Amino acid sequence: WAGPWPLEQRWWDTAAAPCSRLQVITDDGAALLLSCRNTRWTVVGIYD
């Protein structure tokens, strides 16, 4: 659907992991906001 968007959070912290967000639509029509940090994807939002 849209993305990915790389995020630059806590840029001052050398231990902070890079993060990206991605909007997707699943085969059954669910619209989700995903976040990736340290190669692990997590659902952080569900659109109505």
With 90 as the cut, is the pLDDT of residue 45 above it? yes
3-38 pLDDT per residue, tens: 788 887 777 877 777 789 999 999 999 999 999 988
Residue-by-residue DSSP string for the chain: -EEEEEE--STT-TTPPPEEEEEEE-TTS-EEEEEEETTEEEEEEEE-
pLDDT at position 5: 83
Report, as an integer, the average pLDDT of 37-46.
92
Confidence of residue 39 (pLDDT cuts 50, 70, 90): confident
